[in-house]
Chains A and B, each alone.
Chain A
Amino acid sequence: MKMKSMKKVVGPEYNLGDKIKTNVYAVGVAMQESVYPHTATVFYPRERKKMPDNFRGFILFDPDKCISCFNCSFVCPANAIRMKEAPNKRYYPTVDYGRCIFCHFCIDSCSGGALKATKIHDVAYKDMDAMFTPTEEMIELPEIIREDKKYVEYEIKEDDLHLKRTKGEDYLFVEVPPPKEIPMVSTCIDPGSCIGCRVCADVCEHGAISASVEDGGTLRMKIDTDECTGCGLCVKECSMQILMLNKLERE
C-alpha cells in the first residue's frame, strides 16, 4: 500500500569524514557571518519598520459618516466596541483597547467608512482605565511618543532579504477610499401582520420610520426611503420579523 507522491526522508548517517566536514561547515558559517553578517535588525526606538498601508492599528472615527448602525459593535468578537449616546442622541462607537484584538472586523463592517485604520500600534498605557477610548478621542489622530528618525522597509528581493533605510518619519495614517456603496433600504413585506409595537420607529436613529393612524384606527408604520440608511436595525428588532432589507434600485 503506497500512496502516490510520498517522499521518504531519511536522516543523514555520519562517518568520521562527514563529521569533520559538517563541523567545518558550521564553523565556516559562523565565521563568515561574523565577518560579513546578514543583519536583519530594525533599531526600533530610533528607527521604525514601515508597515504597509493596510496595517491594522488603532482605529479612528468620523462622526459625519456614521449611520449608527451598531454593526461594528455587533461584529466585534471581543466586545471591545460599545456604543455610547452622544449629545445629539445618536449612538457612536467607543473602543476599549484593553480588549481590542485589532481584527478590524469593525472597519470591514462599517459601510459608511466612518471607522478608519491607522498604523499606530506601539503604545504603552500606565493604567488600564485609560485604555478605554471614548468617541471624542477617536476623531483626531492621537500623538504617540516617537523617537524614530528613520524608517526601514523589508525588501524581499529574489536573492535575499534587504533592509532599505530612509531618513524621515513614516506617516501613521493613510486615507483610503470609502467602501463601495451598496444602497439598501428597509421595507415591510407583510404590513398586514404589523402589530404596531413601534419598536422599529424607536430603534431607528434617523427618524426614517414614523407611525400614522390610518382610517379605521389601525396603526401603520411608514418607512421614508430617502431617510433610510439601510442600517438594518429595524429589521433585526422587528418583533414580527416582517421587515426586510432590500437593495435600492436607483434609476
Chain B
Amino acid sequence: MEETEKDRNIRILHSGVFTPLRRWATKWSLWPCHFLTSCCGVELAHTGACGYDMERLGTLNMGISRQANFIMVEGTITRKMARALRIVWEQMPDPKFVNVIGACGQRGGIFWNSYNITRPSDIVPVDFFIPGCPITPEGLLRGVRAVQEKIEGRDNTTIRFKHVELPPGDGEENRAPTTPKIFAPTPLVRVDVPRDVDWAFGNDLVKNLKAQLNGLYTSITITEKNRIAIKTTPENLVETSRKLSDTMGVDHVKSVNVIDVPHERKFMVEYMVSGYTEELMPVILTIFTEIGREAEPEITSLASLWESANYSERELHDFFGVQFKGNKGMKGKFLLAPDTPDTPLRKDFKLEEEQYTIEEGVPLTPAITPPHYTPPSSSSPSYTESELEDLKMPAYEDVLKEAEKNDEFVAFIGPHHSGSGHLRWVMRMKGDIIKDVIPDPGYVHRSMEKIAENRLYIQNVPLTERPNISDPINMNLGYVRAIENALGIEVPERAKYIRTIMAELSRIGAFFYDMGIFPLFMGHSTGFMYSFAIREMVLELMVRMTGSRCTPSFIIPGGIRRDISDDVLDRTRNFTSAIHKRLKKYENIFVYNPVLISRMKEVGVLTREEAIRCGIVGPFLRASGVEYDVRKAEPYEVYDKLDWEATTGDAGDCLGRIFGRLEEIKQSVEIVRQAVDAVQGMPRGGVISEEILGDYKEASDDIRGYLYNVYGDLVLPKGEWTSVTEAARGTVLYSIISDGESNVPYRVRIITPCWMNLRGIIEASKGERVADFWTVYASFGYFPPEADR
C-alpha cells in the first residue's frame, strides 16, 4: 500500500534508534510557520502575545518555512493562496504537521459557497481541525496539545459526544419547507429613486449642478440626505466628471460599482465621488450610466482623472469583465486567481444553494474543485510555460524586461513572507532605493460581494464583519446603518450609546492591533506584546458584552441584540482609567523610542494633494492634513453629543500616521468614558427599535428567541442605500441596492478602507529605502482580508 503523506511524518518519528528522544524533542519544539491567511490570524497573534504566550509550550512562531515544522492554516485558503500553501508545505523539512484552524479551512464556514475558496485538506495532509470562527486562543493551544499528543502516539479527537437516542414516535411524514429566500424574477433595479428629504443645501446643490452640467446629464435626483444621483450617458461620462472635478471641487472617488441587470441587457456603471471641501465632505455624488450587456462591454476609465478609481476599476474588470478603456491594468486578473471562474459577479454565475435538510446520499458540502495549481512534483518536475507566466503575475514579461534594462533588482515578496501580510509585492529596487512596488492583492479575496447577494439581509450581518475582525463593530455598524437609513428607523437612545461604546472599543482594539503589528515589522517584540496585552483587555470587555471575542455580530438593524449588564459597564468604566498605566509603558518603550522615531521621521511622506489623489482614507488621510472624519462630517450614533476631538496633522509621514492614531486612542477612551457615564444614568432595556420589531415588541431588550421571526423577511425599499462609517482604518462604504421585492440584496458593494489605502502604500514607499517599505506598510495598518474582502 502506498504510504500517504500524513503517515510519513509519524513513520519518520517512530523509526531509528533515537525514537524516544526524537519524539520528545519534536513534541516540545513545534515551530509554527504562521500562515496568516485571514482573520484567524488575529487570534493567532493573541495566542503568541502575552495573553496566552504560545512560547510556553515551546511553540515559537517562525516565519521561515525551512526552519519551521508546523503549519497552522489560519482560515480561508483561496484559489490564489492554495499554491502558496502547498509550496510552503513542500519547503518544510520532515517531519511536519498541519493544523487547520477556523471554519473557513474546513467546510468553508461562512464562505462555504464562495467561488474562490478551496479546502486545505485537499492540498496538504491535515492533522487536526479546530472549529471556530475565529478560534479562541484556547482552541488553538488545544490544537498544539493535540499534535503533541499525536507525536506521543495518541491521535485523538479531543471531544467525545454522548449519544442519546431520540424519542421514537409515529408522527406523519412532513414535507420539508423550501428556501426562505425570495428572489424577484424580474427585479426593478434603480439607483436614483427620489426621496423627499429636508435638505436645503442639497436643493441648492442640485440647482448648481444642473447649471454646471447643462446638456451633459440625463437626470439629477436627491436619493437621500447627502446623496445625489446624476445620470449621464457613456459618451458624456468623462466630460461630466471633468466638469465636476474642475468646477465643483470633486477630488476623489469613494467607490466604483458595476451592477449587472441581465433581463434588461445592461450594466450600470456608477462612480461615487465627493470632495474634501467643507460643504462637499458629507455629500456623495453618484454619477452613473448604462452600457449594453455584451461579452466585452466597454466604458472609458476615469482613473486618469481620479487616480483613486484605478484599483477599483481593475477589480470590477475581474468581476464583470467590463473593460475600462484607458486604465493600464486591464491585462490579466487582479484580485482573482487564474483558475477562478471568469466574471463571477455577473448574475448568470450562480453559487451553490443552501440545503436546509439532510437527505441520504447528498454530500454535506458541495464539492469544491481543487485548484489546478500544483508545484513541481516527481511526476511533473517543472512548471509549464503558462503556469510560470501566472506565477509571475502581475509582473509581466515587459515589466521584468524593463527592470532588467534599468539595472534594477526585482524581488517577489510574499504571499508567504514574515512581513508581507497576505498579498504579494513585486518590488523593483535599485541599490537600496525602491523604484516601484507592484501590488498583487487578492490572496484573501473571499467573494464577499457575491455571497452577500445570495443571503438574507440579516445573514449578512456576520458576513460584513469578517473582512476585519480586528474592528468588527464598525464594519457591522456601516452595513446596519445602511439598512436603517433605507427603512428610516430611529434607533433607541440607549442602543445608540451602547453602539458608540462598542464601536469605540472596537476602534481602540483595531488601533492596538495595528500598533502591535507595526512593532513586529520593526523587529520590536516588546511593543507587540504590550499592545496586545491592552487589546486583550478590550477583547475581555467584548466577550463580556457580546459573548464572542472577535466576531460579535452584535449590531442588528434597529439596535443591538441584547442589553448589556451594569457589571460590564462598570468594567468598561474601569478600563478607561486602567488603560493609561499600560499605555504609558507602551509609549515609553516603543513609540517614543529614539530608534523608532528615527525610523519613522520623514519616511513615506504623502502630501495633502498626493493623499487625496491616491484616495487614502481615515487617520492616514488626516495625518496628511485633510480634516475629514465621518464622525464629525456626517455624525452618526451619538458622536455629535459627546465632547471629543478628531485628530489631524500635516507632516504626512509615518510618524504623523502613528502619532495621529495614538492620539485617536486617547480620544476614543474619552468617548467611551463619556458614553458609559451617560448609559449608566439611563433606564435599562429597550435597545431594539419597536418599529422593526412589529408584533414582537416584548423582545425589545433581548432579541433571543425571535431573531429570525423579526428579521427573516426584511425587505428594503427600492433604490440604492449608501452609508459611510468611520472604521478604525478609515471610511468604510456600504452600498446596498435593493429591488424592493426580494428579501436578499440585489447587489452589495463594500469598499473597505484598506482597499483604498493600498494605493497610498505604493505611492508613499516609492523612492524610499528598502527597509522603509515595511515602515510605510505597517504605518498604514494594512489588513489584507479587509482589502480583499
Query: Is the pairing of A and B real?
Result: yes
List residues of A whose CB falls within 8 A of some B CB.
Answer: 1-12, 14, 18-19, 22-23, 25-26, 28-30, 33, 38-45, 48-49, 51-52, 54-56, 63, 68, 70-80, 82-92, 94, 96-105, 107-113, 117, 120-128, 130-133, 135-145, 147, 154, 156-161, 178-180, 182, 184, 199, 202-205, 207, 232-233, 236-237, 245-247
The answer to whether A121 and B592 touch across the interface, beta carbons within 8 angstroms, is no
The answer to whether A247 and B695 touch across the interface, beta carbons within 8 angstroms, is yes
B649 within 8 A of A: yes
Please name all residues of chain A whose beta carbon is closer than 8 Å to the beta carbon of B278 when the two chains form the complex.
1, 3
The answer to whether A205 and B174 touch across the interface, beta carbons within 8 angstroms, is yes
Residues 426-473 of B contacting A (Cβ, < 8 Å): 455-456, 458-463
B45-53, B299-307, B325-333 - the one binding chain A: B45-53
The answer to whether B177 and A71 touch across the interface, beta carbons within 8 angstroms, is no
Q: Quick one: CB contact mask for B542-581 with A, threshold 8 Å, 1 for yes?
A: 0110111001010000000100000000010011011001
Ordered by A's residue number, 9 sampled pairs between the chains whose C-beta atoms are within 8 Å are A1-B278, A5-B632, A7-B647, A77-B460, A77-B461, A89-B173, A122-B136, A131-B131, A139-B162
The answer to whether A126 and B155 touch across the interface, beta carbons within 8 angstroms, is yes
Please name all residues of chain A whose beta carbon is closer than 8 Å to the beta carbon of B663 when the two chains form the complex.
7, 9
The answer to whether B52 and A102 touch across the interface, beta carbons within 8 angstroms, is no
B261, chain A: closest CB distance, angstroms: 26
A91 and B169 CA atoms in complex are apart in Å by 12
Q: Which of A10, A14, A112, A204 contacts B651 (CB 8 A)?
A: A10
Please name the 10 residue pairs, one residue from A and one from B, whose CB atoms are nearest each other, closest first. A88-B169, A179-B705, A101-B133, A98-B107, A137-B161, A109-B708, A89-B171, A98-B106, A11-B655, A124-B146
Residues 693-745 of B contacting A (Cβ, < 8 Å): 695-696, 698-699, 702-709, 712
The answer to whether B526 and A30 touch across the interface, beta carbons within 8 angstroms, is yes
Please name all residues of chain B whose beta carbon is closer than 8 Å to the beta carbon of A157 when the two chains form the complex.
574, 578
Q: Quick one: CB contact mask for B577-588 with A, threshold 8 Å, 1 for yes?
A: 110011001001
Residues 111-163 of B contacting A (Cβ, < 8 Å): 112-113, 121, 126-133, 135-139, 141-143, 145-146, 155-163
Residue of A nearest to B148 (CB): A45
Q: Which of A76, A92, A117, A207 has the most CB of B within 10 A?
A: A76
Known: A82-B357, A98-B106. A9 touches B160 (CB 8 A): no
Interface size range on B against A? 35 or more
Q: Which of A90, A122, A184 has the most CB of B within 10 A?
A: A122
The answer to whether B175 and A91 touch across the interface, beta carbons within 8 angstroms, is no
Known: A40-B51, A88-B170. A73 touches B356 (CB 8 A): yes
Please name all residues of chain B whose beta carbon is closer than 8 Å to the beta carbon of A98 when the two chains form the complex.
103, 106-108, 129, 131, 365
Please name all residues of chain A whose beta carbon is closer than 8 Å to the beta carbon of B540 when the two chains form the complex.
154, 156
Q: A89-B172, A125-B158 are in contact. List 10 more A-B contacts (CB 8 A).
A: A6-B632, A23-B593, A40-B533, A44-B138, A52-B547, A96-B364, A108-B561, A133-B161, A205-B171, A236-B180
The answer to whether A42 and B51 touch across the interface, beta carbons within 8 angstroms, is yes
Residue of B nearest to A1 (CB): B278
Residues 224-259 of B contacting A (Cβ, < 8 Å): none
The answer to whether B659 and A124 touch across the interface, beta carbons within 8 angstroms, is no
The answer to whether A203 and B174 touch across the interface, beta carbons within 8 angstroms, is yes
A221, chain B: closest CB distance, angstroms: 15
Please name all residues of chain A whose beta carbon is closer than 8 Å to the beta carbon of B180 when the two chains form the complex.
74, 236
The answer to whether B695 and A126 touch across the interface, beta carbons within 8 angstroms, is no
Cβ-Cβ contact count across A and B, 8 Å cutoff = 423
B583, chain A: closest CB distance, angstroms: 11
A137 and B632 CA atoms in complex are apart in Å by 52
A127 and B168 CA atoms in complex are apart in Å by 31
Residue of B nearest to A178 (CB): B705
A126, chain B: closest CB distance, angstroms: 5
A224 and B585 CA atoms in complex are apart in Å by 68
Please name all residues of chain A whose beta carbon is closer than 8 Å to the beta carbon of B712 when the two chains form the complex.
71, 74-75
The answer to whether A86 and B138 touch across the interface, beta carbons within 8 angstroms, is no
The answer to whether B358 and A94 touch across the interface, beta carbons within 8 angstroms, is yes
Residues 28-65 of B contacting A (Cβ, < 8 Å): 50-53, 56-57
The answer to whether B107 and A128 touch across the interface, beta carbons within 8 angstroms, is yes
B166, chain A: closest CB distance, angstroms: 5
Q: Which of A9, A25, A26, A78 contacts B649 (CB 8 A)?
A: A9
Known: A7-B648, A160-B578. A132 touches B50 (CB 8 A): no
A106, chain B: closest CB distance, angstroms: 9
Known: A5-B632, A102-B133. A70 touches B593 (CB 8 A): no
